[in-house]
Amino acid sequence: MQRIWSARGLQPHRVETFKLSNDPRFEEKLVDVVGLYLDPPEKAVVLCMDEKSQIQALDRTQPSLPMKKGRAGTMTHDYKRNGTTTLFAALDVLSGSVIGQCLPRHRHTEFLAFLKTIDREVPKGLNVHLILDNYATHNHPNVKTWLAKHPRFELHFTPTSSTRSKPTSPPTTRTPNHSNGQPTPTRSSRRSAADESPSTQSPSKTGAGHRRRAGRGGRTAPLERRLRTCRLVPFRASR
């Protein structure tokens, strides 16, 4: 059977998933989100925000031994539960810094608490453009009331079933340095002369094609891959 499948190029054990968005405002939202990444407003910070709910807080039943030369780290096969938590995180796509907070539940109350955390962390002189998905708590009446009282916040929603449009490369424009009022080049404008040679661009799965250029000496690094190793670090305004 394996030889028959191989001869015909069949792989019945593999299935690729897909999802077509039926959002009537798909194009409008996509242009808004991608345009915000590529051409962010001045005196503003662009944050990509998401939540991860029902994270199990597990602990091992006995102390573990650390890794050392010739021996792997150890841990018990069993564990004890300590309830669940919800991680709220907002990534600054320009500097790579993260505002993170763990809260016990996933309701509009916790979302409001996280918005207040962002309001405290981001300097008052900057507007906040928050890119997020269409979860119901984001449009709760209490959230809208809070946003009306804090006009520097503006929410930008990704198209339905298209959260993969959130990961993207950092903005390529020049942003003002708010410490001295002078413009500071971003990462893209500080590329070496070798990167100025013709380069290829790898299209993303959303069709927008917003990954880093892979010029000579460069490498493509999708944001999803970087997020897997991203740590929660104190937020610092780099503008």
Query: What is the pLDDT at residue 140?
Result: 93
Contacts of 172 (CB under 8 A, 6+ apart): 38, 186, 188, 189
User: What string of pLDDT tens digits covers the 239 residues of the chain?
Assistant: 999 999 999 999 999 988 888 888 898 998 999 888 888 888 999 999 999 998 988 889 999 999 999 999 999 999 999 888 999 999 998 888 999 999 988 899 999 999 999 999 999 989 999 999 988 889 899 999 999 999 999 999 999 887 655 544 444 333 344 444 444 444 444 444 344 444 434 444 444 443 333 333 334 444 444 444 444 444 444 44
Entry pTM: 0.60
- Within a domain: 206: no
CATH number at residue 33: 3.30.420.10
Task: Enumerate the β-bridge partners of residue 59.
Answer: 80
Q: Which of 19, 23, 18, 20 is nearest to 134 (CA)?
A: 23
- Within a domain: 190: no
- Looking at the 3D structure of the chain, how many domains does it have? 1
Domain, as residue range, for 231? 19-56+79-172+218-239
Query: What is the pLDDT at residue 58?
Result: 87
- Within a domain: 87: yes
Query: What is the pLDDT at residue 70?
Result: 92
- Within a domain: 129: yes
- Within a domain: 95: yes
How far is Cα 189 from Cα 191, in angstroms, rounded to an integer?
6
Query: What is the pLDDT at residue 161?
Result: 82
Angle at 144 between CA 175 and CA 161, to 5 degrees: 75
- Within a domain: 180: no
Q: Which of 134, 158, 196 is nearest to 28 (CA)?
A: 158
